[in-house]
Structure 1
């Protein structure tokens, strides 16, 4: 039996079971053996019966005091087995399994596992799993029982049997890691680790098996990324820019602020890249308001100074439009012609822009996805910048890059993550982090409240608006439904407009509005015509209204920490003290922990790490769209030290000439693999 074989070759898998397994993403033998347990039942930890509580999952050990089979009605047989341990009693109950009773003889010692129930005035376990272990054997009994995330129609015993059969009969699960790596890192063999993942003798073996399996996943992820980078570096020569000259210096002097140390270092990294022979591929990550836009303006000025064009793509019209206005200010009076293109650009204006790009009279184009349309053609594109890059897929990024011969590429994100993780997720990019905030930015005071404080907060909002300031009120997505999202925002808008703040101008903006309507509302808010703006998370990024001093978030428990931090970054942009108020009546432990972190931490890097630890890496990998294989054993958040080791070992192997083509083809497939080997 081979790893690539269909699961139908597994004993016990017929057409019906094959369909059920497919719902779990299991189609091949390899899928089955890599369907790892989500947890283990520890049968070595025995709970005294007097300490049991309903709904606990527990292991108990006792003697059979009584066994009875009853048939309360035709077609129903119940086996009741009474166990005692000297501190209490538990009844094991089995429905329509009359043969179960034959094994339980009076006086026999039994180890039983299951969920404790309280029925008919007594503790019981329905369908308990059991082992018959004598008191002499008990001290040496070690058993960790795997528990799998199953679907309807598959019993846990069936899953264990199918996996066991596969591991006993698979013929081609050979070692895929370099022998030197196995020795240096003291790793288990591949097949041994797979067996121990599903049936570990003890916690130590399980730990070593998971370490080996997670290391393997991270190793090949890093190998793929490093080979991609290696291909890029040897494949093409870039636009080699001259050292920054008078135009870059003029833009720098135009800024109404001095660059921070973080901004200076980030731009220095960009200069080194653009003045080299290899095309720049750099990620700039920085906290909300850390000044990434100014760095981007300098990079674009540098490419224009060298006779090439630049493009900046943003995910929303609001953000793209704001960048356009900002860059116009940065470049005012300088020989840099900036244009703006979006899906809303009028045909006449669009045609003029397309002509300006073709004849080279437009130096910098800023816009939305409209930039990647086929008829947008540049005369000589030299630099491509993607803002809030996680909102775009790899293909969209590449579509813009291919509009130039081999342009330098800069991507920016305001969702900072630990550097090691950034090297993995954006592994084909170099990483610069802008830490620290521009002078004059005040920390935003953050508070978490419930319903009892709502009236006081509304009074506070009224005082701020009377003083001439503005307020955001953000409503969450409800079960990721646009209709419910819209209804939620509209309901809040109408209540605040009609009942709470009838004396102020209240506006509404949400994702289902026409872009032109959204633009109009945002312009009115920016211009001070609207005092309070009710919005969905459409205003999460890119909105800059220095006069806004309050960010109020309804249902704050429905947002991740990084998203809440993004929203908080919409205020605190002026000279006045600003506030972020997080409203939630959800008092579970996770929510309270997250609200506490928001109130205590202002640093987006630290907050992002906490967010990832709370959520795990699953959600994070769900949206970055890098074509990476799913991680089944590794957790990129909790396994950062292992990731660093895997990266070192992968680099050693790749530098030594290994290409792992067959393994990477198997693991990555699709778009990523084509990028790696498409020219071979």
Structure 2
């Protein structure tokens, strides 16, 4: 970047209007430099239309009304929220408007005055309400008609207006943005100039130019990621193994001890893993398998083989609750083979951690199960020969690297339940060999699905009551609210209150949302896993990464707002035990397309089929919908809906010579680290 007075690497404090306090709020979103802010892309756009009569409003839409304040606004406190309510009126009808944590509106909205309000229409206690609407004077509103206004991801203390102003200032002083892609490629693939793309993605001239800008920036993300994988693969390829293992009888013994027979797919993949562990070169393998296909069994066999060969091995999982569950079941399963296991998670006391570090360093334990606490600097392993990561997208490529560097060059096994079509998986996991477990254990009962409208809720609640009375448990996933964490938390808490009133008195209902402290989340998940909570109301913000075989019902509100792949992941939280499980998708939309999409889930429990169908259904306009894939959080790109751009970027990288690749990285020595560690979200 050059020409203006701002540099890409400048701290955001150089921007007018950003002081110490605001800087800290930006830091919460990971925005520290001018470059970070430029890459804080809109999550959507508002296109302002002419105001409509209140009487024409329907649930679920975002609309504008021109109305007068009919009464003095009321302020009430609910838990830690301050809520302002006011009644407004036009010639057709009246309605209530609600704002969260904006108490000053009580004084600034005056009875009799007319404004234009724009917001989302929701149904609360049977009546339509507009939540968190923007407030405009008539004159300024009409200036905004038909212009695409960026809507940014926010956090508490940050408004859309603050982000917009800061980005505008950067762009006014930006003459060109750093471009890593060779000119020959931008020409061949007809890509927009990068500097223009950055301007247009923030403040587009029109929808077409926004789409072209987005296409260019998504191409860049994918291109750089695949490029970095190519470098990684070069480093790893043909890396001689320091840990060649011998076949061990104990693995066959364990297979015979399992209370079920392994599927042919499991046996095939076990042979592949075993072959890698016994070979001359370091294993870098991904096991991809649908939810419930039995990947964990393969991990246990690999861990046992490493331990019986005299080495240490570790398994890293995304949540503490899951780590504790794995630790407990592994300890019970492997104790008869003389295997010593230990647990290492962030919530342990300093003393517990110190003692655990000591046992690991002295090789008093063979297997270490934990969360990302496993890659802290203080952990020293003794002959770490195998590293397994579960749900790989929760850890980045960089975190895998950090674990690998703890040993010499340990074998790496990555497990993922996200059913990505094979063609995309080969690109995205370019540094790994891929094994697919494409068969479900015979004893698993297929989940029974139903797609229903909101009128079905009373029946669903009765059904949940009945399941709990039979000793089962249920999840209810609340609709996602994107405006702010506060509203999302409030929605979950309100829904929980409503369920407590509706369900039988002995049913214990608790909630889980993104605003809770990690300790509180862990506590709720543990109580749910132990059966003390019967119904868990949650947002998808929270990783429900826990194995609860007793949970038999998954109810998803506003299912139409999720990608099919994500809904399939949620559904995988049930059907893990011997009982029949059910998934209820509640569709809050009357659109035929929404129902047709959900019908795919109704008809199939096969994640790979669903992921493929999901890809076919995406139209080019479906860009700023809900993030479709929890896997691989790029900043803008989505591996499902942008599959064609992903393939084009992979082709482009293939065409580059090694010298051209080296030149790109030589021009910016920190680039590889930036791409794999930060530049693409959680990668």
- TM-score by structure 1 length? 0.64
Q: Which residue does the alignment assign to 1:99?
A: none
Conservation of the 8 A alpha-carbon contact between 1:476 and 1:556: yes
Q: Which residue does the alignment assign to 2:470?
A: 467
1:625, 1:574 → 2: CA distance?
A: 29
Q: Are the structure 2 counterparts of residues 616 and 440 from structure 1 closer, same or farther at C-alpha, using a change threshold of 3 Å?
A: farther
2:445 aligns with one of 426, 442, 446:
442
Task: Return the offset for 1:646.
Answer: 6.2
Conservation of the 8 A alpha-carbon contact between 2:241 and 2:409: yes
- Superposed, 1:424-443 pairs within 5 Å as 424-443=427-446
Q: Which residue does the alignment assign to 2:49?
A: none
Task: Return the offset for 1:566.
Answer: 2.1
Q: Are the structure 2 counterparts of residues 425 and 377 from structure 1 closer, same or farther at C-alpha, using a change threshold of 3 Å?
A: same
Conservation of the 8 A alpha-carbon contact between 2:386 and 2:410: yes
- Superposed, 1:146-185 pairs within 5 Å as 176=182
1:217, 1:486 → 2: CA distance?
A: 32
- Superposed, 1:23-62 pairs within 5 Å as none
Conservation of the 8 A alpha-carbon contact between 2:629 and 2:640: no
- Superposed, 1:221-370 pairs within 5 Å as 222-233=226-237, 236-370=239-373
Residue 446 of structure 2 aligns to a residue whose secondary structure is: coil
Conservation of the 8 A alpha-carbon contact between 2:632 and 2:639: no
1:435-493 Cα offsets, whole Å, 9 max, x none, are 12111112211112233212222222222233333322232443264433333333333
Task: Return the offset for 1:380.
Answer: 1.9
Q: Which residue does the alignment assign to 1:565?
A: 568
Deviates more, 1:482-491 or 1:454-463: 482-491
Q: Are the structure 2 counterparts of residues 484 and 322 from structure 1 closer, same or farther at C-alpha, using a change threshold of 3 Å?
A: farther
1:127, 1:518 → 2: CA distance?
A: 42
Conservation of the 8 A alpha-carbon contact between 1:188 and 1:209: no
Q: Which residue does the alignment assign to 1:542?
A: 545
Task: Return the offset for 1:361.
Answer: 1.4
Task: Return the offset for 1:496.
Answer: 2.6
- Matching of residue 372 in structure 1 with residue 363 in structure 2: no
Task: Return the offset for 1:174.
Answer: 13
Q: Which residue does the alignment assign to 2:507?
A: 505
Q: Are the structure 2 counterparts of residues 545 and 175 from structure 1 closer, same or farther at C-alpha, using a change threshold of 3 Å?
A: closer
Structure index of larger Rg: 1
Task: Return the offset for 1:557.
Answer: 3.6
Conservation of the 8 A alpha-carbon contact between 1:539 and 1:567: no
- TM-score by structure 2 length? 0.63
1:528-553 Cα offsets, whole Å, 9 max, x none, are 44443334447754333333222122
2:629, 2:269 → 1: CA distance?
A: 28
Q: Which residue does the alignment assign to 2:606?
A: 603
Residue 402 of structure 1 aligns to a residue whose secondary structure is: helix
Residue 379 of structure 1 aligns to a residue whose secondary structure is: coil
Task: Return the offset for 1:307.
Answer: 1.8
Q: Are the structure 2 counterparts of residues 579 and 337 from structure 1 closer, same or farther at C-alpha, using a change threshold of 3 Å?
A: same
Task: Return the offset for 1:294.
Answer: 0.8
Task: Return the offset for 1:359.
Answer: 0.9
Where structure 1 has 5 or more consecutive residues not aligned to the other structure, the ranges are 9-17, 20-26, 32-37, 39-125, 129-146, 153-161, 199-206, 676-680
Q: Are the structure 2 counterparts of residues 662 and 544 from structure 1 closer, same or farther at C-alpha, using a change threshold of 3 Å?
A: closer
Q: Are the structure 2 counterparts of residues 320 and 537 from structure 1 closer, same or farther at C-alpha, using a change threshold of 3 Å?
A: farther
Conservation of the 8 A alpha-carbon contact between 1:551 and 1:581: yes
1:641, 1:577 → 2: CA distance?
A: 39
2:498, 2:149 → 1: CA distance?
A: 47
- Superposed, 1:59-74 pairs within 5 Å as none
- Superposed, 1:531-680 pairs within 5 Å as 531-537=534-540, 540-589=543-592, 591-611=594-614, 613=618, 637=640, 647=650, 650-651=653-654, 653-654=656-657, 659-661=662-664, 665=668, 668=671, 670-672=673-675
Task: Return the offset for 1:302.
Answer: 1.9
Q: Are the structure 2 counterparts of residues 589 and 393 from structure 1 closer, same or farther at C-alpha, using a change threshold of 3 Å?
A: farther
1:600, 1:506 → 2: CA distance?
A: 32
1:674, 1:536 → 2: CA distance?
A: 26
1:242-272 Cα offsets, whole Å, 9 max, x none, are 2421132233233222222222232233223
1:127, 1:382 → 2: CA distance?
A: 61
1:486, 1:212 → 2: CA distance?
A: 35
Residue 333 of structure 1 aligns to a residue whose secondary structure is: helix
Q: Are the structure 2 counterparts of residues 643 and 333 from structure 1 closer, same or farther at C-alpha, using a change threshold of 3 Å?
A: same
1:369, 1:331 → 2: CA distance?
A: 23
- Matching of residue 413 in structure 1 with residue 416 in structure 2: yes
Q: Which residue does the alignment assign to 1:12?
A: none
Residue 406 of structure 2 aligns to a residue whose secondary structure is: coil
Task: Return the offset for 1:371.
Answer: 1.8
